[in-house]
Amino acid sequence: MSTVETKKQAAIERIANHLLTEGLNKTGLRLLAQVADTSDRMLIYYFGSKDALLDEVLGTIAAQVTGQLDALLGTHQRTAAELLAQLTAVTSNEAFAPAVQLWFELVGLAARRQEPYLSNARVLAGNWITWIAARLEDPTEQAPEDLYAHLEGRLMLKMLEGSSG
């Protein structure tokens, strides 16, 4: 890996950690450069634009989450009920809370049609639905989109429940 690629990967990792702890409200280019231990000009050099930087960072976070889920649940196929129960149990764990919170923040911004959040939410939701479909024994039993929406609803309720008490 070249020096540029190494520095770019380090920036992605640092910014991903920042987004998981601070959310999307603190994404000014200068702040992200400070978090990445570089300059804003270098971030633009590495990624081309702030939107492209956020695309890569959010994609990296999503890949980390699916990697964790694969490690915990395996990649074998199962019934929709089994997959939903397993995903609900695992993603309700506090270890997944930062990623779940970031997801709902992203969806909120996407609902307001704000870019690059709308584009990112569409891509990531599509990736999730594809991930779910690959783990279903019979996608006609329950559509992957429906299972995804059911899981998201459960996570939303769990998140709201946790914030009230």
Give which of 64, 126, 113, 32 is closest to 40, Cα–Cα: 32
How many alpha carbons fall within 13 Å on the CB side of residue 9?
A: 6
User: What is the reported pLDDT for 135?
Assistant: 97
Copy the structure tokens of residue 19: 């987004």
- Tell me the average confidence (pLDDT) per consecutive run of 10 residues in the chain, 165 residues long: 91 98 94 96 96 97 97 97 96 94 97 96 97 95 96 93 58
CA pair distance 106, 37, nearest whole angstrom: 25
Beta-carbon contacts of 64 under 8 Å, excluding residues fewer than 6 positions away, are 16, 99
Beta bridge partners of 136: 78
Burial readout 120-156 (b: 16 or more C-beta within 10 A, e: otherwise): bbeebbeebbebbeebbeebeebebeebbeebbeebe
User: What is the reported pLDDT for 165?
Assistant: 40
State CA 120 to chain mean position distance. Answer: 9
User: What is the reported pLDDT for 125?
Assistant: 97
User: What is the reported pLDDT for 139?
Assistant: 87
User: What is the reported pLDDT for 108?
Assistant: 96
